[in-house]
Structure 1
Amino acid sequence: MRQRLNKDQWRRVIMKGVVFTEFLDFVSATHGADTADDMIDDAAVPSGGAYTAVGTYPHTEMQALVAALARRTGTPAPDLLGLFGRHLCGRFAVTHPDFFAAQASLFDFLDSVDGHIHVEVHKLYPDAELPVFRLNRRGTDAIDLDYASCRPLEALAEGMIRAAADHYRQPVAIATSRMEEPAGPFVRFSIRHAA
């Protein structure tokens, strides 16, 4: 599914600044501006928390910020990432409503991520390192969505999936499992419509 990164390549993995600016907005909105400032101080990130939406930053800064917020709030990091994923999907629905309007259902939307949405993202940000999503339908009510990324942000992805399900008003049950293949590990989200 993807190539394995060595230790030096791993350190250079970057994320687009829009994710960082949205994360700071999320923290300020949910925990207050003072907590956001304290989180940045606690994380002691090289950028000092001065992010721009069009910049690129090491993904390790996001990990440091989430870890600092987890320590400060007592909320586990995966839970924070899931909540942020919900926030981020909601923001994308506002800033890019055409991506959501183009699809009639959650499964169709998820199926469009790699083949359409990420293509458009690459037009805007040619250097973006995006995760890979591979969807396999299991009948009309269930799919397996494989998520491969050089960043350990599957909780963020799951939060976005749950927010997209809310957007389409299609409740789902999600089971998560870690998988391995010769090209490297990935996470499988087994998603089925819930009554």
Structure 2
Amino acid sequence: MKGIIFTEFLDIVEDAFGLEICQQMLDEAFDEGSYTAVGSYDHKDLVKLIITLSKITDVPATDLQEVYGKAVFSRLLKSLPIPINDKTSTFDFIRKVEEHIHIEVKKLYPDATPPRFDFISETNSIMTMDYHSARCMSHVCLGLIQGCADHFNQKIHVEMDAIKPDQSHVRFHIQLVAS
């Protein structure tokens, strides 16, 4: 997993819970917290940090993943080399993630294994897609989808159906909600 995910996570934890909680999380997870944005790290280390933060804060790990995904969306968007214009929508952007961003990530980092999206169906107001990832972080994906909708000033309703119990395969039903 690319280091930017870790560095942003630590920044968000510090912003949301303070430096003391962030340090406590690192200490209790036996993690030095020395990540670089361009490094590659085992995703299990991030999972361990999330579980440790959940124990410290009594916030469910799935909720922490969603909050993280939502918060990190705008930070990751700034680092992406794709054109975003006034006509880009939540659905357009989600498609660009799979059709452009993940492809470019693999070109830049041949060892990278980004999640895969399979688009099942789409209308003007509903998108159904499958998320596939060995990292089983579908709640981060949910947060990213929510952050994406917020960025494009669209209201959405999202349902998640775990196709596999470990959440390595999850179906998302995303519906645009009229304002």
**TM-score, structure 1 as length reference:** 0.84
Report how many residues are paired: 176
1:92 to 68, 73, 76: 76
Distance 1:185 1:91, change over 3 A: closer
Aligned to 2:113: 129
Q: Where in structure 2 are the equivalents of 1:1-195 lying within 5 Å?
A: 15-45=1-31, 48-96=32-80, 98-101=82-85, 104-180=88-164, 186-195=169-178
**1:122 Cα offset (Å):** 2.2
Quick one: distance in 1 between partners of 2:133 and 2:86? 25
For 1:76 and 1:97, the matched residues in 2 are separated by 34
- Structure 2 distance, partners of 1:29, 1:97, is 26
Query: Percent of pairs identical after alignment?
Result: 37
Q: Distance in 2 between matches of 1:187 and 1:98?
A: 26
The residue type paired with residue 28 of structure 2 is D
3-state DSSP class of the match of 1:78?
helix
Q: The residue matched to 1:56 in structure 2 has which SS?
A: coil
Range with bigger deviation, 109-118 or 134-143: 134-143
Gaps of 5+ in 2: none
**8 Å Cα contact 1:148/1:185 also seen in 2:** yes
Cα gap change, 1:43 to 1:126, in 2 (>3 Å):
same
Q: Give the 3 Å change call, closer, same or farther, for CA 143–51 of structure 1 in structure 2.
A: same
5+ unaligned residues in a row in structure 1: which ranges?
1-14
Conservation of the 8 A alpha-carbon contact between 2:117 and 2:129: yes
- TM score, norm. by length of structure 2: 0.91
Determine the structure 2 residue equivalent to 1:10.
none
Aligned-residue CA RMSD (Å)? 1.8
Distance 1:40 1:128 in 2: 25
Deviation at 1:162, TM superposition (A): 0.4
Question: CA separation of 1:130/1:33 partners in 2, compared to 1, >3 Å: closer, same or farther?
Answer: same
CA offsets 1:4-37 (integer angstroms, 9 cap, x no match): xxxxxxxxxxx11111011001111111111111
Which contiguous aligned blocks of 4+ residues in structure 1 show a shift greater than 4 angstroms? none
- Contact 2:3–2:41 (CA<8 Å) still a contact in 1? yes
CA–CA distance in 1 between the matches of 2:103 and 2:93? 14
1:102 shift after superposition: 8.6
Kindly provide the CA deviation profile for residues 115-146 of structure 1, in whole angstroms up to 9, marking residues without a partner as x: 10112222332221100011233322101121
Find the counterpart in structure 2 of residue 5 from structure 1. none
CA distance in structure 2 between the partners assigned to 1:89 and 1:99 by the alignment:
16
2:115–2:131 Cα contact (<8 Å) kept: yes
Whether the 8 Å CA contact 1:99–1:117 is kept in 2: the answer is: no
